[in-house]
Amino acid sequence: MDKMLDVEQMIYPSAVVEHPRRRRSKGQVRRAARAARAAGLAVPIILFAGLLVFALFGHSAVQSKVKKVTVKRDGVSAQIETFDSTVADVIGETGVVLAEHDRVIPDEKTLLGDDATVVVERGREVTVVDGIKEPEKVITYEGTVGDLLEEQQIDVRNTDEVSAPQESEVVQGMTVQIDRITKEQKTRTQEVPFETEYRESSDLYIGEEKVTQEGVNGVRTIVEEIVFKNGEETGRSVISDTVTTAPVNRVITKGTKEKPATVAQTQPAPVQTPAQEPVQEPAAQEEPAPDANTVTLPNGDVVHCSNVISGTSTAYTHTGSRTATGVWPSVGTISVDPKVIPLGSRLYVSGYGYGIAQDTGGAIKGNIVDVFFDTEQECINWGRRNVTIYVLD
């Protein structure tokens, strides 16, 4: 019995200690064991309680120390000392009011450490119009127009126009317009009218004219630069204007040689002898007189005329309308006063040549004719002059 230990002694051996001089009763031994057991259980309970307290309150105790936090808003920085634990707490403590599109960096739920930085970025709603594209509303946190364009990946060329300088500040509700400017070169040609040149020649009689060289129009090449704004033309300018094919003048040769004088031949009167009886001579047959309607034109042609008129001539060119006789005018068309020269008459106008009376005009009255030329310059060269009008049979 003395060497055997009960369960309580095995678990708590220190509770069974024999005094060398006094032996305890069995009841005393059991009471001592229970006391020792209670003391042994208290140790793990205390340790568990300590761990629980640390788990529940130890983190807050660590975080509750004073921290230095820098708050940045609208480009202004301020440093505060706070016991707050999260970004949201600091935002609330500083009184910052967040608008609809504002954002906070880092996230509001982030736990703060010492020397932390909290950035409040203002979100601005702006409208971006890129050329002919539809307007687009965007939310941006960029500070300048240039940064906004870069954020939206909008490439602005040197020729393009932006409604606001790129270094200007982005403000709520603003509209940024990008106008796309393009340029294009266009080449066109234009006719250069030839001129009429008059030369003198002793090979022709005075009043005679002859076309010795036909005129040919030249070509002018014009290069223009056209400016477009968002696809619509806004202006154009001439870059170069060059005569690439020179015109060839029309040459008319005018005569300077005097015409030979015409001497009228007369028949001598018959001589009668007064002393003698007149002798009955057979009647001499008269030679036919020359035709009074036969004339020699200034160009040397011999023609029959029904009338020769001394008059005045002017000149005209294309009007876009037909003549009074219904035909399109061309070189040889002559406008007359029908009361003097019937329409359809064949004419010869000194200095001009042959033509047909095919047209009329309000200013063509009496002995005035209006001769047709292909170009305005020829009309200017002709001017207003005195002429002889031959009405041919």
Confidence band of 105 (pLDDT split at 50, 70, 90): confident
Instruction: Please give the structure tokens belonging to residue 267.
Output: 């028949």
At residue 12, the pLDDT reads 38
| 213-248 pLDDT tens trace | 999 999 999 999 999 999 999 999 999 999 999 999
Q: Half-sphere exposure (CA, 13 Å, Cβ side) for 376?
A: 3
Residues 168, 144 share a domain:
yes
Sheet holding 181-192, edge to edge: 181-192, 218-229, 232-245
Closest of 146, 149, 151, 64 to residue 111, by C-alpha: 64
pLDDT score at 280: 55
One domain for residues 354 and 379: yes
- 345 and 359 assigned to the same domain: yes
One domain for residues 251 and 335: no
Claim to verify: residue 167 and residue 96 sit in the same structural domain: no
Residue-wise pLDDT for 313-328, tens only, equals 999 999 889 999 999 9
The verdict on 329 and 384 lying in the same domain is: yes
Whether residue 264 lies inside any domain: the answer is: no
pLDDT at 291: 53
d(CA 388, CA 367) in angstroms, rounded, equals 10
Residue 196 pLDDT greater than 90, yes or no:
yes
Give the CATH number, domain containing residue 106: 3.10.20.90
What SS3 class is residue 315? Answer: strand
- 3-7, 220-224, 266-270: least confident range: 3-7
> Residue 168 gets which letter from DSSP?
S
The answer to whether position 2 is within a domain reads no
Report yes or no on 276 lying in a domain. Answer: no
Cα–Cα distance measured from residue 393 to residue 383, given in angstroms and rounded to the nearest whole number? 28
What domain range includes position 211?
184-257
Q: Maximum Cα–Cα distance for the chain, whole Å?
A: 238
Dihedral sign of CA atoms 31, 36, 40, 43 in order: positive
Rounded Cα gap, residues 235 and 240, in angstroms? 16
95, pLDDT greater than 50: yes
Bridge pairing between strands 368-372 and 333-335: antiparallel
Q: Could you tell me if residue 334 is inside a domain?
A: yes
Residue 26 predicted with pLDDT over 70: no
CB environment 109-118: b (16+ within 10 A), e (fewer): eeebeeebeb
In this structure, the answer to whether residues 301 and 373 fall within a common structural domain is yes
Which range has the top average pLDDT, 186-200, 259-273, 290-304?
186-200
Enter the tokens of residue 166. 């790129």
Provide the pLDDT for residue 258.
83
Say if 102 falls within a structural domain.
yes
Here the CATH number for the domain that contains residue 386 is 2.40.40.10
pTM (predicted TM-score): 0.41
Cα separation, 51 vs 58, whole angstroms: 9
Domain end among 257, 274, 309 = 257
- Are 128 and 117 within one domain? no
Please tell me the total count of domains within the chain.
5
Per-residue model confidence (pLDDT) at position 167: 94
Same domain, residue pair 134 and 103 = no
pLDDT, position 357? 96
- The pLDDT of residue 31 is 65
Decide: residue 321, CB within 10 A, 0-12 exposed, 13-18 middle, 19+ buried.
Answer: exposed
Share of the chain above pLDDT 70, in %: 76
User: Which DSSP state fits 272?
Assistant: -
Element counts in the chain: helices (H) and strands (E): 6, 21
Residues 47 and 74 in one domain: no
Is residue 66 scored above 90 in pLDDT?
A: no
Whether the pLDDT of residue 266 is over 50: the answer is: no
Residues 168 and 250 in one domain: no
Dihedral-angle region of residue 39 (phi above 0 means left; psi in -120 to 50 means alpha; beta otherwise):
alpha
Residue 238 lies in a domain: yes
**For 284-305, how does the pLDDT look when each residue is reduced to its tens digit (9 = 90+)?**
444 444 455 888 998 889 999 9
Which of 179, 196, 213 lies at the terminal end of a domain, its last residue? 179
Q: HEC profile for 107-141? A: CCCCECCCCEEEEEECCEEEEEEECCCCCEEEEEC
At 166, the pLDDT band (50, 70, 90 cuts) reads very high
Task: Specify if 113 maps to a domain.
Answer: yes
> Do 245 and 230 belong together in one domain?
yes
Establish if 152 belongs to a structural domain.
Answer: yes
**Alpha-carbon torsion (286, 291, 297, 300), positive or negative:** negative
The Cα–Cα gap between 304 and 297 comes to 10
Domain's final residue, options 211, 234, 257: 257
* Mean of the per-residue pLDDT values of the chain: 80
**Are residues 118 and 87 in contact, defined by beta-carbon separation less than 8 angstroms?**
yes
CB 204 within 8 A of CB 253: yes
The predicted model gives 360-370 an average pLDDT of 93
